[in-house]
Amino acid sequence: MTITDSATESASDVVAGKGARWVVVGSSTQAEAELAVREALAPIVKRADPKLTIIFCSPAHNLAEISRLVRATVGSGEVIGCSTAGELLRNHPTTGGLLIWALGGDGFAVTTGVGLGDPATGLRDAAQTAAQCLRQLERKEHTLLFLLADGLCGDQMEVVRGAYDVSGAGVPLVGGCAGDDMALQGTQQIHSGELLTHAVVAAAITSNAPMAIGIAHGWEPLSEAMLVTGSRGTTLESLDDRPALDVYLDTYEAPDEVRNDPAAFFDFAHTRPVGIARRNRTEIRYVYGADYELRTLMIFAEVPQGAMAYLMQGNATSVLNATTDVCALAEQALGGQPARGFMLLECVARKTLLSNAGLLDESLKLPSVASEAAVGGFYTYGEIARTEGSGGLHNQTVVALALA
Amino acid sequence: MSSAPWSLHVLSEVLAAFTVRSPTALRDVMSRVAEAVDAEITAIMDGAQSDFQHCVGLEDHQKFLLAAAVEERLPVLSLAGVPLHLYWAPLDGGAVMVVGRFREAYSLEERALLRAMGRSIQLSTQMLAALKAEQEAKDLAIREATIDALTGLPNRRYLLAHLGAGLDPSSGGRLQIGLLFIDFDRFKHINDVYGHSVGDAYLQAVGVALGQFHDADTFVARLAGDEFIVVVASANIGILTDLADRILQCLKQPVKIRGRLLHYSASIGVALAEPGDRPQDLLDKADMAMYSVKQLLPGGYACFEPNMLDQARRKAVLESEIRSALLQDEVIAFFQPIISSLHGGVVGFEALARWLHPRRGLLTPKDFIEVAEDAGLLRDLDARILRDACCSFSGWQSVQKGFNPRLSINISAATLQDPTLIERVKESLVSSGLKARNLLLEVTESSLVKNVERAQHNILSLKKMGVKLAVDDFGTGYSSLRYLRQFPVSMLKIDRSFVSGLGQSYDDKVIVETILRMAASLGIQVVAEGVETEEQRAILSRMGCEFLQGYLLGHPLDSPMSDQFLARSERRRNWLRQPIV
């Protein structure tokens, strides 16, 4: 089956004319790599050479082969990508598929970079290296740094810190952490046709039109604010001087099997994140495991010691609203210009919650988004969106990047 | 549900930011401070120069704007048209920590809180600086303990740790570890001839050359002296020998040190780790292979073979036995007579080392001299023979009856340079009662010529004492004969290789005749060694060679039998002297 955003394709020509900015998304659920690439690239190859092609691909595919085929087809533009925990199209989330998101036209310019880290030292230096591509970019009026990082290599917050070391406050950061269809074994990143692990790939995108970021999650505090009294890396040790796991289980009144069975805990925690209090928002952290012996929680990204934290709750409706609202939030920030395309970066845990409630397709109807705008993205293990402050790593959140 | 005050967030999180465990992680601290106060920019600036120790959130071209704002104590700075609200925490020495937040000014509560935290931040910064200094001192100590100061390469300790990790299967170690043991040929010559500073400079140049081979799989270290080690992580014999070839080619290139072009080569032993090998096992194997190269083909490489291990073990056992034999007086002097070609009587004896091995019986030097030399035992061996030969010789009844033969004793190059040689000779002469003029010390041409400067003092002292010097194996060593004028040489001993050719080789005949004529003109006596046939004796007699030595004239004998041999020789000589009635 081919899912091609043909409406977007035609609209671009009409609205912008040849040589103007365009965003196109294509996808495929074909199992065979060559067929999948041909289908997913079909709307893209009709355009002039894309400036940036981003591959979001299920680990069920041979990513090396996919990446080689895409690289060979799209010409001289930049190619990056990563493995996913599912792919996002308007109305059509997929698992095991391939989605290709591309932009082009004279109004855009792109440079890319890559940095390699390792689980022992994390990804800060890798992100710093990848972000150096900003220095090679001849900037137009609006610039941002798009990041794809290994989602299972150390503290995800380090990716934001490393990129911010280079970008500074003037350049927004947006992106996501690669997934592996919830196997939690290892993720892959793509840069210039090369397949990598423990890597950060970056694309510095500059445009003569606005680009804006929307962030939403729909979670609300369930608990009172608690002081993070013990935290080391991605292990949350204690809250208000009590073992973090005990606080967590008691607050959520977890059933017995969750208190003893790691698999049951994993499913349970999927929809019960931790929130970190920030000045005017709450950042969400994804709890993906527990150490029953040490009574600690395992989190995808650091919960800073000394911070105020909450245990969060949500329901299908609040999470659904966040997804449908986020594109509108992003588009509002475009200053009245219409969005040509959206990149959606949504936490895989939200997918589970919405799917369990039978609202997954509903969540992607995106009524606020014009029908001619291209929409595509992937289900992530962590979302990156820094527009203010110097933090910007989120979990169980949906982030939308809108491009005018 | 209650919400904690924002200022409380800032207080607890910023203070916690300074409890990071790594003292070198200043950037982590600053990132956490920025995140805690929801600020975009944090910086630490030195006061006077407005230099940035650290800065997060600004691009390079924006930093000067912040520096100017700090200097003027501006509360707000406009960056790209957006107001950046600034807060300062003064630190020691005029330094300042700056926290900047876009758009939203700090509230009175926040400012009061940040101000109150200034001292804590300062203390934390000082603590971090102290911890950082301590960590740097530790790093330096570790570096000094693991890095060779001369070459900058990893040292023996680091090497052993690296090998240990590589060979340990429990730590994910790989068994395909290979090792090259590099040892320079005649490196001592550089130190001896040009001095140790040139030797050190040469080793530094070698360190740079070998450092070029370092990569993710290849680890280069200096083991000791002129010994270097290359460890290859994913090795097979092909990879190792190819690398050995490339290294040999590299090391053969001349090195210019202080205006001199030095040409030296190295020998390489190659070994591949086997399961269960410990670091020292692998080093030993490669060392054995290197040793075999040195013996057979210096300047090349050889791969370790299991029989080398047996040889090495046998050598180690033999070395231990030699040490024991010297202590147990199992090494004694035998004596081979030197005969006058004129009258057939004994004119002297050459003392020769023999080892009365408790299991293997009587051993000659060829069975143990090489191992003794490698073990540095030649001086002890020489001293032992000197003492034993002098004592035995002077105790012979025939000598005491007035026979007056000379005693020749071989000494090695090491002994010739030994500062204690003169004392040892004096002691032997005094304790035995042997007259100095009856003692000849035999040295080879090479040991005499190679160690001219160091041996000169001993040679002149021996001459003053009246002890004579003989040159052993004459004709096989150096072409230059200048040393015959330079040193007080009393006797030349023609090498047995020339004597054995007499009657068969015209060349040998010419060489022997030439030596005899030259010695006669210099007033030096000559002994022909290795005389084993009547024909050789007759030819040498006709040529005028005065003294002969060899199996034809007498085998080496122990002390009592030599005493008897001398007595018989003297009786026969006296009988011959009697007038025929």
Q: pLDDT tens across B341-366, in order?
A: 988 889 999 999 999 999 899 999 99
Contact B8 A308 (CB under 8 A): yes
CB-CB contact of B297 with B269 (8 Å): no
Per-residue model confidence as pLDDT tens digits over A179-200: 999 898 999 999 988 899 999 9
pLDDT of residue A15: 42
Residue B375 lies in a domain: no
Nearest CA in chain B to A278: B38
Task: Say if residue B160 is in the same domain as residue B270.
Answer: yes
Q: Which of B96, B117, B139 is the last residue of a domain?
A: B139
**Crossing angle for the helix pair B156-167 and B118-146, to the nearest 10 degrees:** 90
Per-residue model confidence as pLDDT tens digits over B501-524: 998 889 899 999 999 999 998 899
pLDDT of residue A8: 37
What phi, psi does B420 have (nearest 5°)?
Answer: -95, 0
pLDDT of residue B104: 86
What phi, psi does B538 have (nearest 5°)?
Answer: -65, -45
Q: Of the candidates B184, B255, B190, which has an alpha carbon nearest to the alpha carbon of residue B222?
A: B184
Query: CB distance from B369 to chain A under 8 Å?
Result: no
Instruction: Calculate how close chain A gets to B377, using CA atoms only, in Å.
Output: 53
- Hey, what are B116's tokens? 């109150």
Q: How far apart are the first and last CA of chain B?
A: 147
Q: Of the candidates A187, A189, A175, which has an alpha carbon nearest to the alpha carbon of residue A147?
A: A175
Longest dimension (CA), chain A: 63
DSSP 3-state of A210: coil
- ipTM, interface predicted TM-score of the complex: 0.78
Of A221, A304, A389, the CB nearest to B39: A389
Of B19, B35, B79, the CB nearest to A390: B35
Cα B313 from Cα B306, distance rounded (Å): 11
DSSP annotation of A118 reads: B
pLDDT of residue A60: 95
Contact B80 A164 (CB under 8 A): no
Helix residue ranges, H only, B18-117: 26-36, 60-71, 108-116
CB-CB contact of B335 with B393 (8 Å): yes
Which CATH number do you get for residue B482?
3.20.20.450
Which CATH number do you get for residue B186?
3.30.70.270
Nearest CA in chain B to A141: B80
**How many domains, chain B?**
3
Q: Which of residues 85-124 of B touch A (CB under 8 A)?
A: 101-103
CB-CB contact of B553 with B572 (8 Å): no
Integer Rg of chain A from CA: 20
CB-CB contact of A24 with A375 (8 Å): no
Task: Say if residue B476 is in the same domain as residue B563.
Answer: yes
**Identity (one letter) of the amino acid at B225?**
G
- Helix (H) or strand (E) run with residue B121 in it: helix B118-146
Q: Which residues in chain B are contacts of A224 at CB distance < 8 A?
A: 1-2
Query: CB distance from B1 to chain A under 8 Å?
Result: yes
Query: Mean pLDDT for chain B?
Result: 85
Q: Which residues in chain B are contacts of A168 at CB distance < 8 A?
A: 57-59, 62
Q: Which residues in chain B are contacts of A227 at CB distance < 8 A?
A: 12
Other Cβ atoms less than 10 A from the Cβ of B144: the count is 11
**Identity (one letter) of the amino acid at A315?**
N
pLDDT of residue B113: 67
From residue B369, how far is each of A38, B319, B366 by CA, in Å? 81, 10, 6
Extract the runs of DSSP E, i.e. beta strands, from A77-209.
78-83, 87-89, 98-104, 108-116, 142-149, 173-177, 189-191, 194-196, 199-207
DSSP 3-state of B525: strand
CB-CB contact of A309 with A225 (8 Å): yes
Task: Say if residue B39 is in the same domain as residue B124.
Answer: yes
Task: Say if residue B410 is in the same domain as residue B550.
Answer: yes
Q: Which residues in chain B are contacts of A161 at CB distance < 8 A?
A: 27-28, 31
Residue B360 lies in a domain: no
Task: Say if residue B547 is in the same domain as residue B414.
Answer: yes
Contact A170 B59 (CB under 8 A): yes
Residue B328 lies in a domain: no
Q: Give Cβ neighbours of residue A242 (< 8 Å, ≥ 6 apart).
A: none
Q: What is the mean pLDDT of residues A117-146?
A: 92
Task: Say if residue B230 is in the same domain as residue B348.
Answer: no
Contact A388 B40 (CB under 8 A): yes
CB-CB contact of B234 with B217 (8 Å): yes
Which CATH number do you get for residue B90?
3.30.450
Other Cβ atoms less than 10 A from the Cβ of B268: the count is 27
Task: Say if residue B107 is in the same domain as residue B175.
Answer: no
Q: Which domain holds residue B20?
A: 6-139
Of B8, B16, B62, the CB nearest to A168: B62
**Identity (one letter) of the amino acid at B358?**
P
* Torsional sign, CA B294, B297, B301, B306: negative
pLDDT of residue B419: 85
Cα A225 from Cα B4, distance rounded (Å): 6
Per-residue model confidence as pLDDT tens digits over B542-580: 999 999 999 999 999 999 999 999 988 887 777 666 655
Query: CB distance from B6 to chain A under 8 Å?
Result: yes
Of B1, B27, B31, the CB nearest to A224: B1
**Crossing angle for the helix pair A6-16 and A33-45, to the nearest 10 degrees:** 20
CB-CB contact of A357 with A245 (8 Å): no
Task: Say if residue B131 is in the same domain as residue B174.
Answer: no
